[in-house]
Amino acid sequence: MINDSALNWEASFAIAIALKRAYPRVNIEDVTLKQIYDWTLALPEFDDDPALANDEILYAIYQDWFEENFYGQ
């Protein structure tokens, strides 16, 4: 059965929102791509192959998270 609420590497904005909720006090400017990778894998709703991650995907998550912190609520 496919989990429609599962996050995958293509859902950079949804991952960014989940990370923002999971780590509300983190200073996004201090976050590394390695932390984003590790924290994404630790999200309970994340369900994708860890080997598919690359710097481009991780940077997209970072950028979405940064923009959400800057422009979002």
In which residue ranges of the chain is pLDDT below 50? Answer: 1-2
pLDDT of residue 71: 83
pLDDT of residue 1: 41
Q: Is-contact 35 65, C-beta < 8 A?
A: no
pLDDT of residue 61: 98
- pLDDT tens by residue, 51-70: 999 999 999 999 999 999 88
Q: Is-contact 12 53, C-beta < 8 A?
A: no
Strand partners, 46: 7
Q: How many Å apart are CA 58 and CA 21, to the nearest integer?
A: 17
Query: CATH number for the 12-71 domain, one of 3.90.550.10, 1.20.120.140, 1.10.3720.10, 1.10.10.600?
Result: 1.10.10.600
pLDDT of residue 73: 58
Sorted by where each begins, the domain ranges of the chain are 12-71
Specify the pTM.
0.90
